């Protein structure tokens, strides 16, 4: 059996499995949000930080014209091949979350599961939101999902889960290894063990994520007058049950409308 220790960003096909079970639930929520918050049919959609494209592929299959980008060269290559194999049509390019431009405006955009928190400074977060706003038509929405930091949260956190596709099994471990509340940065370590009938691969990455309380995110939004906060949901994705943005909510999905 072949054992290797490698960077997980070079293997988007395994990273995608981490959230595969959420894909259809998220896509259904997106469709419901488009109907609820947009006064026009949503056809053109952007996904910043699209990774290996699990959501882009799903939304393209549903008939939407998708555009996505990611900073990872390997993810972009993998997604282009995936789209081609699926006989779908989508635009994919390598780009920076904080600095990007589109040739044509989109009706909606989405980014879920903490991609936004990879922007580790206020300046980068502001730039990202402004560039998304510039990419949206008036009345279009940005569905933005990430974890907020409750005031009483423990700084130590470890999560473990597994996923299977065919004969491939992947085990994931996510651990918060360091927290700096003053700088609003937490250091995350994610480990993956991939097992197939012929090989075993171990992948590990550490990276910083920016932390937000509800108050801190509200303060950020005030700097982006192009966006209006419509509603807040959690990762149950119940369109009939918007929540209150307070210090209790953690798994947060914001609906931001371009004014």
Q: Which domains does the chain have, with CATH numbers?
A: 9-150+211-258 (3.40.50.150), 158-210 (2.20.25.110)
Nearest to 256 by CA among 135, 118, 144: 144
Residue 246 has pLDDT above 90, yes or no: yes
The pLDDT confidence band at residue 150, using thresholds 50, 70 and 90, is confident
Give 133's contacts (C-beta < 8 A, 6+ positions apart): 142, 224, 226, 227, 258
Token pair of 189 as six digits: 């370590």
What distance in Å separates the CA atoms of residue 232 and residue 221, rounded to the nearest whole number? 13
Q: Give 157 or 184, the one with higher predicted confidence.
A: 184
Give 123's contacts (C-beta < 8 A, 6+ positions apart): none
What distance in Å separates the CA atoms of residue 100 and residue 191, rounded to the nearest whole number? 30
pLDDT 10s digits, 57-105: 999 999 999 999 999 999 999 999 999 999 999 999 999 999 999 999 9
For helices 54-61 and 73-85, the axis angle rounded to 10 degrees is: 30
What distance in Å separates the CA atoms of residue 165 and residue 48, rounded to the nearest whole number? 26
Give residue 184's pLDDT: 96
Q: What pTM was computed for the model?
A: 0.95
Write the burial class of residue 182 (CB in 10 Å: 0-12 exposed, 13-18 middle, 19+ buried).
Answer: exposed
Token pair of 187 as six digits: 């250091």
Give residue 9's pLDDT: 74
What distance in Å separates the CA atoms of residue 45 and residue 128, rounded to the nearest whole number? 16
Nearest to 212 by CA among 221, 223, 199: 221
Across 47-66, average pLDDT: 97
Most confidently modeled range among 6-10, 17-21, 145-149, 201-205: 145-149
Give residue 157's pLDDT: 86
Q: Give 2 or 58, the one with higher predicted confidence.
A: 58
pLDDT 10s digits, 94-143: 999 999 999 999 999 999 989 999 999 999 999 999 999 999 999 999 99
Q: Give 9 or 142, the one with higher predicted confidence.
A: 142
Token pair of 191 as six digits: 């480990």
% residues pLDDT > 90 (the chain)? 87
Beta strands in the chain (DSSP E): 2-6, 44-48, 65-70, 90-94, 106-111, 136-147, 158-165, 168-180, 185-195, 199-210, 227-233, 251-258
């Amino acid at each position: 059996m072949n054992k290797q220790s490698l960077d997980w960003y070079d293997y988007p096909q395994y990273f995608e499995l981490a959230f595969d079970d959420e894909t259809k639930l998220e896509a259904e929520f997106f469709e419901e949000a488009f109907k609820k918050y947009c006064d026009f049919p949503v056809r053109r959609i952007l996904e910043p930080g699209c990774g290996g494209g699990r959501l882009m592929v799903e939304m393209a299959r549903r008939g939407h014209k998708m555009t996505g980008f990611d900073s990872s060269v390997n993810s972009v290559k993998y997604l282009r091949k995936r789209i081609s194999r699926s006989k779908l049509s989508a635009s994919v390019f390598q780009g920076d979350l904080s600095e990007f431009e589109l040739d044509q405006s989109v009706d909606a955009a989405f980014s879920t599961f903490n991609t936004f928190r990879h922007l580790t400074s206020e300046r980068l977060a502001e730039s990202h939101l402004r560039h998304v706003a510039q990419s949206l038509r008036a009345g279009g929405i940005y569905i933005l999902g990430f974890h907020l930091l409750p005031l009483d949260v423990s700084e130590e956190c470890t999560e473990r889960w597994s996923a299977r596709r065919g004969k491939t099994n992947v085990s994931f471990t996510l651990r918060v290894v360091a927290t700096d509340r003053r700088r609003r940065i937490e250091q995350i370590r994610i480990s993956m063990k991939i097992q197939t009938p012929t090989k075993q691969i171990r992948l590990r990455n550490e990276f910083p994520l920016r932390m937000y309380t509800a108050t801190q995110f509200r303060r950020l939004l005030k700097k982006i007058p192009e966006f209006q906060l419509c509603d807040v949901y959690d990762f149950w994705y119940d369109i009939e049950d918007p929540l209150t943005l307070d210090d209790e909510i953690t798994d947060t999905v914001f609906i931001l409308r371009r004014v």
